[in-house]
């Protein structure tokens, strides 16, 4: 399965914060299983409160289930994973999850930068990252790492985002990233399904 | 606009650093999870202003003071009071009533960082009327953490969040009443922590030192690889009395370890395990 960039997609990492959930849901709903690669989702959210975000995201996805992985769980090639509350989500080279409870980065744990960086290191050109709406600057450095390792970076067009500062910052720091509106992101995903 | 270059380290260089630290200082990081260790090491390099593995090796080799700073920065010292309140609620309701039948209740907090979780446990035991029969052992690899924990002083800024966690865990009292407040921090009441034993213990190399009814090791084993997780969970098994309890972090499952058949999870998803006889 290749994107318009012609690279083989092995993993898709999606990062978002305030205002990102509606777009995220429409992206997930556009997928038609079986998905030919792994999907990781990193969303900023509250800690120490009960959360059923993984259930909410799974709603209406049919056979697709969004899973919050445990430490050391192997990545399934067709799995859809949500970074657990209050942990950073990393990947080992043996394709198992590695959770990290160290300091928040840019006030965020999970941090989008941390996951994107890890995805870039392990998957290099096989990585695609999408950064959505949000109100801080998380994700900018991670997008840089994805691009530096030969991966593909897509940023939601700020004027379509409920909160613009996150995509704006990412564009400012990464003028080689691709900026797309939500319907274009959906087209992109559909074409990646092969 | 480009950002400052990322501190770079190859996996081979990381292996060399791990080997150097072992040979020169006796700390064994060879079975730490590589992904998070790499992240910590590059973070240390960034803080120290080093750009490559050569500079890091040079300073580790020639400057023991740098090594101790490095160790302090490398180990994760993050903790919260009543983290995951739902787990503490389960402790209150399901575990403490069982522990009440023991004449002396021995609890081990492995990887206690600066003490916030062991103070949370002291509050639970106190409210259950069990603290005077409890012996709390709190250990960590990092001496600076233990020194801080012995002072019983925690930062003030997260207190509101801790109070919220405490109430979510079923706490009914005035949370702030457990502390004396100063400008610099909040001191946990001395009468509630006088029987806590803080000691250095390295899960990588140290052995069983007592028998416990409850072992708490939350968000420590995530930094270990599978080999070391197996060693440590076996150490916990050997350190528990039959039917003793083991609590891990919410995303740490014994399922991926060899001791899995020897434990049952008493509440689905909360990662409170009970040793089978």
Q: Say yes or no: B75 contacts chain A, CB-CB below 8 A.
A: no
Q: Say yes or no: A73 contacts chain B, CB-CB below 8 A.
A: yes
- Could you report the per-residue pLDDT of B152-206, keeping only the tens digit for each? 999 999 999 999 999 999 999 999 999 999 987 999 999 999 989 999 999 998 9
| Residue A1 within any structural domain of the chain | no
Distance of CA B169 to the CA centre of its chain: 20
Structure tokens of B269? 């998803």
| Residue A6 within any structural domain of the chain | no
Alpha carbons B21 and B90: distance in angstroms, whole number: 41
Question: Chain A closest CA to B19's CA: distance in Å?
Answer: 20
Tokens 């003028």 label which residue? A175
Q: Say yes or no: A106 contacts chain B, CB-CB below 8 A.
A: no
Q: Residue A47: its pLDDT value, please?
A: 78
| Residue A3 within any structural domain of the chain | no
| Residue A2 within any structural domain of the chain | no
- Could you report the per-residue pLDDT of A119-174, keeping only the tens digit for each? 999 999 999 999 999 999 999 999 999 999 999 999 999 999 999 999 999 999 99
Residue A107's pLDDT band, with cuts at 50, 70 and 90, is very high
Structure tokens of A37? 């690669």
> Hey, which CATH number is domain B85-275, 3.40.50.150, 3.30.930.10, 1.10.287.610, 3.10.50.40?
3.40.50.150
Q: Report strand pairing: A127-131 vs A88-91.
A: unpaired
- Could you report the per-residue pLDDT of B113-147, keeping only the tens digit for each? 999 999 999 999 999 999 999 999 999 998 899 99
Q: Which of these, A114, A38, A150, lies nearest to B38 by C-alpha position?
A: A114
Residue A1's pLDDT band, with cuts at 50, 70 and 90, is very low
Q: Residue A100: its pLDDT value, please?
A: 95
Q: Residue B244: its pLDDT value, please?
A: 97
- Of the listed ranges A20-24, B29-33, B75-79, the one predicted with least confidence: B75-79
Q: Residue B29: its pLDDT value, please?
A: 95
CA angle B139, B143, B148 (to 5 degrees): 85
Number of domains in chain A: 1
Give ipTM to 2 decimals. 0.88
Alpha carbons B216 and B108: distance in angstroms, whole number: 6
Residues 6+ apart with CB under 8 A from B119: B81, B152, B154, B178, B188, B192, B193
**Residue B3 clears pLDDT 60, i.e. is over it:** no
Q: What are the chain B neighbours of A173 within 8 Å (beta carbons)?
A: 1-3
Q: Is A17 a catalytic residue?
A: yes
Question: Chain B closest CA to A175's CA: distance in Å?
Answer: 8
Q: Residue A125: its pLDDT value, please?
A: 97
Question: Can you list the alpha helix ranges (DSSP code H) found in chain B?
Answer: 11-25, 34-48, 53-62, 64-74, 85-90, 96-99, 116-127, 143-151, 159-168, 190-193, 226-239
With contact defined as beta carbons under 8 Å apart, do A109 and A88 qualify?
yes
Question: Which of the following is catalytic: A20, A111, A133, A138?
Answer: A138
- Residue A56: give the domain boundaries: 11-192
**Residue A4 clears pLDDT 60, i.e. is over it:** no
Q: Say yes or no for a CB contact (<8 Å) between A98 and B219.
A: no
One-character DSSP codes across B175-201: GGGGEEE-SS-EEEPHHHHTTEEEEE-
Please name the helix (run of DSSP H) or strand (run of DSSP E) that holds residue B215, with its range, or none: strand B212-217
Q: Where are chain B's structural domains?
A: 11-74, 85-275
Question: Can you list the alpha helix ranges (DSSP code H) found in chain A?
Answer: 21-29, 53-58, 112-123, 140-148, 165-173, 182-192
Q: Say yes or no: B2 contacts chain A, CB-CB below 8 A.
A: yes
Q: Residue B2: its pLDDT value, please?
A: 40
| Residue A5 within any structural domain of the chain | no
Structure tokens of B4? 């400052």
- Could you report the per-residue pLDDT of B8-61, keeping only the tens digit for each? 789 999 999 999 999 999 999 999 999 999 999 999 999 999 989 999 999 999
* Domain CATH for A30: 3.40.50.180
Q: Residue B268: its pLDDT value, please?
A: 84
Higher pLDDT residue, B49 or B1?
B49
Structure tokens of A9? 């997609």
Alpha carbons B42 and B212: distance in angstroms, whole number: 38
Q: Which of these, B180, B216, B176, lies nearest to B84 by C-alpha position?
A: B216
Residue B4's pLDDT band, with cuts at 50, 70 and 90, is very low
Alpha carbons A103 and B210: distance in angstroms, whole number: 32
pTM above 0.95, yes or no: no
Higher pLDDT residue, B170 or A61?
B170
| Residue A4 within any structural domain of the chain | no
Q: Which of these, A5, A91, A76, lies nearest to A34 by C-alpha position?
A: A76
């Amino acid at each position: 399965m290749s994107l318009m960039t012609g690279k083989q997609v092995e993993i898709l990492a999606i990062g978002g914060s305030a205002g990102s959930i509606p777009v995220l849901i429409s992206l997930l709903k556009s997928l038609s299983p079986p998905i030919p690669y792994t999907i990781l989702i990193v969303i900023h959210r509250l800690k120490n409160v009960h959360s059923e975000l993984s259930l909410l995201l799974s709603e209406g996805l049919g056979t697709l289930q969004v899973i919050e992985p445990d430490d050391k769980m192997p990545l399934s090639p067709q799995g859809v994973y949500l970074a657990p509350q209050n942990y950073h989500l990393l990947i080992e080279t043996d394709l198992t999850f590695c959770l990290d409870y160290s300091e928040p980065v840019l006030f965020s744990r999970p941090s989008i930068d941390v996951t994107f960086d890890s995805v870039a290191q392990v998957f290099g050109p096989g990585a695609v990252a999408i950064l959505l709406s949000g109100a801080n600057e998380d994700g900018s450095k991670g997008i840089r790492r994805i691009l530096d390792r030969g991966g593909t970076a897509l940023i939601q067009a700020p004027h379509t985002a409920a909160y613009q500062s996150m995509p704006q910052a990412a564009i400012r720091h990464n003028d080689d990233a691709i900026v797309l509106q939500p319907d274009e992101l959906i087209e992109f995903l559909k074409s990646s399904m092969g | 606009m480009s950002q400052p270059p990322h501190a770079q380290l190859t996996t081979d260089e990381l292996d060399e650093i791990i080997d150097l630290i072992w040979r020169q200082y006796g700390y064994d990081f060879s079975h730490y999870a590589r992904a998070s260790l790499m992240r910590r090491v590059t973070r240390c390099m960034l803080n120290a202003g080093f750009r490559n593995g050569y500079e890091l090796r040079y300073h580790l080799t020639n400057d023991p003071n740098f090594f101790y700073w490095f160790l302090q920065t490398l180990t994760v010292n993050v903790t919260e009071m009543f983290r995951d309140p739902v787990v503490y609620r389960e402790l209150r309701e399901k575990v403490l009533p069982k522990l009440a039948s023991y004449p002396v209740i021995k609890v081990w907090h492995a990887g206690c960082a600066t003490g916030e979780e062991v103070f949370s446990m002291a509050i639970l035991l106190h409210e259950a009327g069990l603290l005077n029969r409890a012996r709390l052992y709190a250990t960590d690899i990092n001496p600076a953490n233990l020194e801080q924990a012995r002072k019983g002083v925690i930062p003030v800024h997260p207190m509101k969040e801790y109070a919220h966690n405490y109430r979510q865990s079923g706490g009914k009292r005035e949370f702030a009443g457990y502390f004396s407040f100063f400008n610099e921090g909040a001191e946990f009441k001395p009468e509630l922590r006088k029987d806590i034993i803080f000691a250095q213990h390295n899960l990588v190399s140290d052995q069983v030192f007592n028998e416990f009814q409850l072992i708490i090791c939350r968000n420590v084993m995530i930094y270990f690889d599978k080999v070391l997780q197996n060693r440590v969970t076996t150490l916990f098994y050997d350190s528990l009395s039959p039917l003793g309890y083991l609590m891990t972090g919410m995303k740490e499952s014994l399922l991926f370890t060899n001791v899995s058949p020897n434990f049952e999870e008493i509440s689905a998803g909360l990662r409170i395990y009970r040793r089978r006889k």
